[in-house]
Every structure is written in structure tokens, then in C-alpha cells.
């Protein structure tokens, strides 16, 4: 069975044809080099051979699995228009594969931590957090604190974990929030890599303080309570569902 496919794509900056092998499923128990590339920040990131633009491949239907560590992470495009629709699609795949599968699959599912993330940087963030024994709910709450301290609302800037210093600070990338974009053939699209605005540092003490009061987080930030999507920006109430005609409904 082929692990790769080769969709026809074009550079979002200059329109030049673009062909790179795109991997179908991120099953890192068999492909440890994929996990390493994600953590290096190099996975599905390219420079256009014609104009040099930094490009990221975005996909709507990837699944990352690590059976050794018990991780199941559904990965959608960073530019998916409606996280609720994505969740319905991805949880159906999970249920069909595991929850409704034979007994052995059900047992496997019970031991797995599952998430849905949007974009490779968000996938990288979950892996980095879990590798460093960070609680992702607490991590999202520390992002809210850091944004507010700088006078930002939580939907104004996208923060993604960049570096975790052992027993030291957490360093985040500061990015402009993604805007919705349609996906191309086979759910694959090429988009400019997000522009880095700078970095933000959160001390380990700030993280530990939030961890000590973990139970209070959902009272304050209730939209972090989803069972699949634990992401301050994605499930924020400002991310209203998109209607069939692509317009934001009035609320
Ligand atoms: Zn180009």
C-alpha cells in the first residue's frame, strides 16, 4: 500500500506548479522520522523553487498515531473554516476505526489520548507539550494570561509553543490568527507559511501557578472544555460557525 500521493498544486505566491510527495497517514510507530521532522518544524514546509516563498502544505484529513505512546491526533488544516464541522468529520473516522470496531480496537481506543488540532504547528505543539509533561489545558490557560498581560484579547494573536526549556520558561511563537481558506483537490492546499510576529516567554512559575488551580480554568475559560479540541484560539466564541454560503452568521 502506497503511503504517499502526489497532488497537483501551485505556489500561492507565484503560481508555479508544485509537486512534493504528500504522506497519507502520520503513523509514527512505523515512521519515526516523520515525528522528528514535525518536532524540527520542517514537516510539510517548503521553499518554492521558482520564487523562494515559504509554503506550508495544509490538509483537511490527516491522522497522527503513535501506538507506543498512546496518541491519536486528528489533524485538519490551520485554515479550516469551522472547527465544529471538522470535529464531526474526524470523530466519525475515529469511531468507525476504534469505538465501533472489534473488541481489540475498542480496548486500544480506551488507552489512547485523542485530540483534534489545526495545522502542523499545532500538532507540533501537542507533541512538544506531552514530551515535556505539560498539561495542554493548563498550557492554553497560560497563553490567555500572557495575551491579556500584553493587552491582547485571546482571539487577536495565535500563540504556538516554540521551545520548552527543561524546568525553565516556555517560549511561544506569536503569529497572526489564520483566516479561513478553502482546501484544494484531495483536501490538500498550499498556503504561505504563517508570518512570525515575534516570541513571547512564559515563566515556569506562571505555568505552575495555573496548574495548582487547574480546576478553576474551565469556570473562567469554558470554551477550553471540548473533549477533542483543547485550543484557546480555535474554540474561542469569536470563531462562529460558517454557513453553507461561506458567510459568518449574525449573532
Ligand atoms: Zn513561488
Q: Distance from the CA of 52 to the center of ligand 1, in angstroms?
A: 6
Of the candidate ranges 4-13, 68-77, 159-168, the one whose mean pLDDT is the lowest: 4-13
Strands 113-118 and 71-76: parallel
Comparing C-alpha atoms, which of 150, 200, 146 is closest to residue 175?
Answer: 200
Band of pLDDT at residue 189, cut at 50, 70 and 90: confident
Say if residue 14's pLDDT is above 90. yes
Strands (E), the chain: 4-5, 9-10, 17-18, 22-23, 26-27, 45-47, 54-59, 62-66, 71-76, 113-118, 158-164, 170-175, 188-192, 196-202
State residue 119's pLDDT score: 93
Give the structural domain span for 201.
Answer: 4-224
State residue 179's pLDDT score: 85
Residue pLDDT, tens place only, 145-187: 999 999 999 889 999 999 999 999 999 999 999 888 888 878 8
Tell me the C-alpha distance between 74 and 229, whole Å: 10
**Are 206 and 76 in contact, with CB atoms under 8 Å apart?**
no
How many domains, the chain? 1
Beta bridge partners of 173: 160, 199
For residue 251, is it within any domain?
Answer: no
Q: Distance from the CA of 97 to the center of ligand 1, in angstroms?
A: 39
Band of pLDDT at residue 1, cut at 50, 70 and 90: very low
User: Average pLDDT of 128-156?
Assistant: 95
For residue 244, is it within any domain?
Answer: no
Chain CA centroid to CA 209, Å: 25
The CA-atom distances, in angstroms, between 240 and each of 30, 176, 177, 243 are 38, 18, 14, 9
Q: Distance from the CA of 204 to the center of ligand 1, in angstroms?
A: 41
Residue 164: strand, helix, or coil:
strand
For residue 219, is it within any domain?
Answer: yes
For residue 245, is it within any domain?
Answer: no
User: Average pLDDT of 121-147?
Assistant: 97
C-alpha cell at 54: 515559504
For residue 42, is it within any domain?
Answer: yes
For residue 250, is it within any domain?
Answer: no
Q: Length of the chain in residues, anyone?
A: 251
Residues 212, 207, 131: CA angle, nearest 5 degrees: 105
Secondary structure letter of residue 59 according to DSSP: E
Task: Please name the residue that has the C-alpha cell 526549556.
Answer: 165
Residue pLDDT, tens place only, 216-244: 999 999 999 999 999 999 999 887 665 55
Band of pLDDT at residue 104, cut at 50, 70 and 90: confident
Say if residue 7's pLDDT is above 90. no
Q: Distance from the CA of 127 to the center of ligand 1, in angstroms?
A: 30
Q: Distance from the CA of 22 to the center of ligand 1, in angstroms?
A: 18
Q: Distance from the CA of 55 to the center of ligand 1, in angstroms?
A: 9
Band of pLDDT at residue 101, cut at 50, 70 and 90: confident
Question: With b meaning 16 or more CB within 10 Å and e meaning fewer, what string describes 123-161?
Answer: bbbbbbbbeeebbbbbbbbbbbebbeeeeeebeebbbbb
To the nearest whole number, what is the mean pLDDT of the chain? 89
Amino acid at each position: 500500500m502506497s503511503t504517499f500521493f502526489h497532488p497537483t498544486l501551485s505556489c500561492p505566491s507565484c503560481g508555479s506548479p508544485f509537486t512534493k510527495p504528500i504522506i497519507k497517514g502520520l503513523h509514527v510507530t512505523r515512521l519515526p522520522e516523520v515525528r522528528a521532522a514535525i518536532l524540527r518544524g520542517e514537516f510539510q514546509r517548503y521553499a518554492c523553487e521558482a520564487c523562494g516563498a515559504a509554503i506550508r502544505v495544509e490538509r483537511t484529513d490527516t491522522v497522527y498515531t503513535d501506538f507506543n505512546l498512546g496518541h491519536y491526533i486528528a489533524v485538519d488544516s490551520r485554515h479550516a473554516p469551522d472547527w465544529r464541522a471538522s470535529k464531526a468529520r474526524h470523530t466519525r473516522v475515529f469511531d468507525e476505526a476504534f469505538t465501533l470496531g472489534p473488541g481489540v480496537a475498542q480496548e486500544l481506543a480506551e488507552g489512547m489520548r485523542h485530540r483534534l488540532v489545526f495545522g502542523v504547528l499545532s500538532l507540533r505543539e501537542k507533541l512538544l507539550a506531552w514530551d515535556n509533561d505539560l498539561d495542554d489545558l493548563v498550557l492554553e490557560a497560560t497563553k490567555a494570561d500572557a495575551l491579556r498581560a500584553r493587552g491582547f484579547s485571546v482571539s487577536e494573536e495565535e500563540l504556538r509553543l516554540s521551545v520548552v526549556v527543561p524546568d525553565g520558561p516556555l517560549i511561544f511563537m506569536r503569529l497572526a490568527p489564520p483566516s479561513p481558506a478553502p482546501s484544494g483537490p484531495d483536501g490538500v492546499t498550499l498556503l504561505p507559511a504563517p508570518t512570525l510576529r515575534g516570541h513571547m516567554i512564559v515563566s515556569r512559575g506562571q505555568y505552575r501557578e495555573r496548574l495548582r488551580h487547574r480546576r478553576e480554568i474551565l469556570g473562567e475559560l469554558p470554551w477550553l472544555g471540548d473533549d477533542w479540541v483543547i485550543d484557546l484560539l480555535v474554540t474561542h466564541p469569536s470563531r462562529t460557525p460558517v454557513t453553507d454560503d461561506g458567510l459568518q452568521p449574525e449573532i
